[in-house]
Amino acid sequence: MRRKLKHKSRNVKRRVVFSVFIVFTVILAFFLLVVISSLVKADRLMKIDGEPVSPYATNRFTSFRSVGFTSGKGQIPLKGWLIQTRTTPPRATLIIVHQQGGNRLPYGLATASLYSQLTKAGFQILAFDLRHSGESGGEMSSFGYAEAEDVRMALEWTIRNTSDTPIVLYGFGSGTTAIFRMMDQLQQNIDSEKIDGQPDTGSLSSSTLPATEIKKRICALVFDSPARDSDDYIRAVVRQENNRWLFWLKNTTPYAVRMSIGNSKKADYFSEFTTLTLPLMIFGHENDCVLPEEAYRPMIEERLRLHPTWTSFYEAKGSGHLSSYDDDPDGYTEALLDFLQKWFPAAN
């Protein structure tokens, strides 16, 4: 009898151990599936080629020249145009920061018409391709994370090579978070300058101008379809693919993207967006068909509440994303020019 009980007890223990082993194996397999699928998804999204630059766009420009500078600690060549105005000196220089998968023409060939009207109004434009986009180099793009350095290099090039005019950063989609990430890094450099007493150009070896000199030249922002952080754009792309079996990807892929560029820190720019004391023009739709409402609506409303005199808002009717210019070119252009002419009036 005792032997039977001992034998039965051993069998129970074996079944328990086996069950625990099976559960552990399933959990481990699921964990590996999550990690591998997230890394594969991130790698694929970051390596999708951007749209090629149309060779016909420059036919609309009165005067322009091709420009080039480097990012990625001098390893990534960036290409673009300096589209000039006949106004001397220019009323301001607009630096275009395009969206993930786009190029220096955020609205395709139609952008050339917008640029032409801006230069006629006296504004100079630096339109360039971020890394792994258009004619620029680089093996991958990262929804604004690594592109922050590209924005800083564009700013430095503009400060060194153009007249001493105000600079307006003009961001589209994930380009808006690249701008805010760059500005956050500038502020960190400035704080380091105050502590160390030495000019801090940041950790980027290709950056040489002091952060204070760069920041004081930024005089206004224009944001088209902004969100509070880069992860919102990553999640939006994953959601659009609508793979229900891999339901975790919308939450894990953003982390995999950050890991791929060696930075796991998530950045939320709600506070910076709402409190920044610079003129800000916002473009969007009544309903963004790509971003969830919580990614943009609360911060726009809070910005309008806190800084109504510093903020202009053009809201296209209906639903859309990065398409408010296509939907109403005249209304969009009029709102943009009204904003720019208010803050950068023509010289008497």
For the stretch 39-88, pLDDT in tens is: 999 999 999 998 899 888 888 888 999 999 999 989 999 999 999 999 88
pLDDT at 205 over 60: no
Confidence band for 8, pLDDT divided at 50, 70 and 90: low
Q: In this structure, which amino acid lies at residue 328?
A: D
Give me the pLDDT at residue 11, please.
66
**Using CA atoms, how far apart are residues 3 and 25, in angstroms rounded to an integer?**
32
Give me the pLDDT at residue 285, please.
95
**Residues 288 and 236: beta-carbon distance below 8 Å:** no
CA 209 to each of CA 15, 110, 154: distance values in angstroms, whole numbers, following the listed order: 68, 35, 12
Mean pLDDT of 96-125: 96
**Using CA atoms, how far apart are residues 47 and 160, in angstroms rounded to an integer?**
32
Report, at the CATH architecture level, how domain 48-229+267-343 is classified: 3-Layer(aba) Sandwich (3.40)
Q: What is the mean pLDDT of the chain?
A: 90
Confidence band for 9, pLDDT divided at 50, 70 and 90: low
Q: How many CB atoms lie within 10 A of CB 192?
A: 15
Helix orientation angle between 147-161 and 174-196, rounded to the nearest 10 degrees: 70
Mean pLDDT of 17-31: 82
Which stretch, 48-57, 155-164, 204-213, 258-267, has highest mean pLDDT? 155-164
Distant-in-sequence, close-in-space partners of 214: CB < 8 Å, separation ≥ 6? 152, 155, 156, 159, 186
Of the ranges 144-148, 193-197, 231-235, which one carries the lowest mean pLDDT score? 193-197
Of the ranges 113-127, 155-169, 231-245, 324-338, which one carries the lowest mean pLDDT score? 231-245
pLDDT at 4 over 80: no
**Residue 318 phi, psi (nearest 5):** 80, -150
Structure-model confidence comparison of residues 242 and 316, the more confident one: 316
**Using CA atoms, how far apart are residues 303 and 39, in angstroms rounded to an integer?**
35
Specify the residue for token string 């397999």: 29
Structure-model confidence comparison of residues 202 and 212, the more confident one: 212
**Residue 79 phi, psi (nearest 5):** -120, 150
Q: Which of the 8 DSSP states describes residue 143? A: T
**Using CA atoms, how far apart are residues 330 and 332, in angstroms rounded to an integer?**
5
- The structural domains of the chain, with segments of one domain joined by +, span 48-229+267-343
Read off the pTM.
0.91
**Residues 168 and 219: beta-carbon distance below 8 Å:** yes
**Using CA atoms, how far apart are residues 158 and 218, in angstroms rounded to an integer?**
11
pLDDT at 201 over 50: yes
Tell me the per-residue pLDDT of 264-316, one tens digit each, with 9 for 90 and over. Answer: 678 899 999 999 999 999 999 999 999 999 999 999 999 999 999 999 999 99
Give me the pLDDT at residue 287, please.
95
